[in-house]
Amino acid sequence: MTITLSPVPTIATELPDVSVPGLKSSVEDSRSFTLHERVYKLPASPTVVICVDGFDPEYLTQGMADGILPNLACIYTAGFCATAHAAMPTFTNPNNCSIISGAATGVHGISGNFYLDPKTGEEKLVLDDTLLQGSTILEQMSLRGVRVAAVTAKDKLRRIIQHGLNPATGDICFSSEYADRCTLRENGIDNVESYVGRTAPPQYSGDLSLFVLDAGIKLLAENRADLFYLTLSDFIQHKHAPGSKESNAFFAALDDKVGQLVRLGAVVGITGDHGMSDKSTIDGEPNVLYVQDELEARFGAGCARVVCPITDPFVRHHGALGSFVRIHLDPAFKSKRDEMIKFLESSDKVQVVLPGEEAAARWEMPLYIEGDIAVVSVKHAVLGSKASEHDLENLKGHRLRSHGGLSEQDIPIMSSSPLSKEAQAEVSERQWRNFDVFDLVLNRV
């Protein structure tokens, strides 16, 4: 298939002014709206979008070959399925924001789980919607009276996805991580454990994701929402390869719950936020390039600060090691940038190294958050900052699997309903993106 990226509006080049709402939508008619230059119809029937965190295509193909995914296999043959590209960098926060915005990271402004604030020089976790620029599909639906339910595995993501939703008018948004803490005022629902019928799962478990789907099934069965966004955790995929006993058990359970949603009458769209690659050597050790250690050994201590955007509160299963890092140079070493790029390009663990501004333009990322240099690893390696800053103790006993780069861009995009005749005509010329999924289920089936 010819790869043709969809047009993207102006790339963000500075931090958003969070004191002023950045809405970019306008009403087309009573049944549609425009957001980021794309028109969305309001749902004509219950509509569910699922983001399977770490949904590498191999989990789908292996699971269907093993006969453990009857419902996804039915969608594959009778509905719609294609291989799409995730937004860069291929991390959780950027891609969930892209999915609910229908746009690349350069439009909504969040391109990592962790970043260096260009104004203060402070390293920060992205834990809420402060950096989010513009509106979301969920917010715009809510403003038009569509009842929205958004359920996440991780609460740090819930605080982003809840942007613009109003529990007072019936919107529901909560995480399975904090299902025992939900209130009507904050989440639009309380007593979630009792409602779903079981206690909140452990933070590091596949059940954290299955609880999200169970909640969605319950809400759909009781007609509590019209539009659902259910986004999962990649704990299983970080630890277990496709075809393993553990991943098969998880995906078989996921498949069963997808089938329940379809049988309840929903149009179900499924995609992922990123793929997943094995990142270990033959002997099972993490295959890591510690970029800051390498630069300081070659150019001197303090020459640069390497930021790993994969870093988030859930680091036990990947040690904050991913396929993409940003390098912020000390002012005294900025003249060495080209030399540093050539030095890093010589590593067999590196796929591509670009000046920050070129990386932002090529991969449709916001310029304001970029460093002086962006580095992407090869498929079977990861990048870190300094060895002393990464705790790998919890990786013992299993091979490191991680994501963030170009090698983890491929993910499935699926719809339980087939494409309309009009939409079928453009399929051969379209490179799908994961952030096309709302367009798919609302406009194309």
What stretches in the chain show pLDDT beneath 70? Answer: 1-29, 313-318, 394-395
Predicted confidence at residue 118, as pLDDT, reads 84
| Both tokens assigned to 320 | 């904050």
**For 28-114+126-275+409-443, which CATH class?**
alpha beta
Predicted confidence at residue 311, as pLDDT, reads 85
Predicted confidence at residue 384, as pLDDT, reads 95
pTM of the full structure: 0.91
Q: What is the pLDDT of residues 24-39, one digit of tens each?
A: 333 345 799 999 999 9
Predicted confidence at residue 24, as pLDDT, reads 31
| Both tokens assigned to 290 | 């510690």
Predicted confidence at residue 20, as pLDDT, reads 29
Domain ranges within the chain, ordered by starting residue: 28-114+126-275+409-443, 288-401
CATH topology (fold) of 288-401: Gyrase A; domain 2 (3.30.1360)
